[in-house]
Structure 1
Amino acid sequence: MYDEFKQKCSMNKDTYCEQSKKQSIAVEEACCEQSKKQRKLLERRLEKKIHRSHSDNSLSLSHDEKKPRKN
């Protein structure tokens, strides 16, 4: 009887371990997917900021060029 109980416990333990492994893998994959999406959003925002700053710089340069030079 004890052996039967022990066998059931070990089977349950294996099943539990398998389930928790699957669950942790699923959670990890979800986190990775979410971080990938966040990274893409941040990259897009940075690209927009860089693009804006370049266009601002070019505008300010052209504005500076129009100023009369002091000798």
Structure 2
Amino acid sequence: MARDLDGSYQPNAKARKQQEKDLRRMEFRRAIESYSEQRQLLRDIVDYPELRDITVWQVSAAASPKNAPQSR
């Protein structure tokens, strides 16, 4: 691990590439989990005829972290 005189970590190229790879892997995993949760929610609401018009896009918009209230 390369450290500057002030003690901050400066990753080398190999470490940076691994970090980027890990970030992409986590984004992919989150996308899979989100898709799985959306499908489960749609399966859960299939028994309610008044909710049958809800689409995957509406579910994903409601479950999106962007739409969640931010705590300060």
TM-score norm. by structure 2 comes to 0.50
Give the distance between the partners of 1:37 and 1:6, measured in 2 at CA.
48
Residue 19 of structure 1 aligns to a residue whose secondary structure is helix
- Residue 20 of structure 1: which of 17, 25, 30 is its match? 30
Aligned residues: 40
Identity %: 3
Q: How does 1:29-48 map to 2 (within 5 A)?
A: 29-39=39-49
Q: Please provide the CA RMSD for this pair.
A: 1.7
Q: Any runs of at least 4 consecutive aligned residues in structure 1 with deviations exceeding 6 A, and if so which?
A: none
Unaligned runs of 5+ in 1: 41-71
CA deviation after TM superposition for structure 1 residue 38, in Å: 2.8
| Higher RCO, Cα 8 Å, sep 6+ | 2
The higher radius of gyration belongs to: 1
Q: Measure the CA separation in 1 of the matches of 2:49 and 2:12.
A: 54
TM-score between the two structures when normalised by the length of structure 1 = 0.51
The structure with the greater share of residues assigned to helix is 1
Which residue identity is paired with 1:6? R
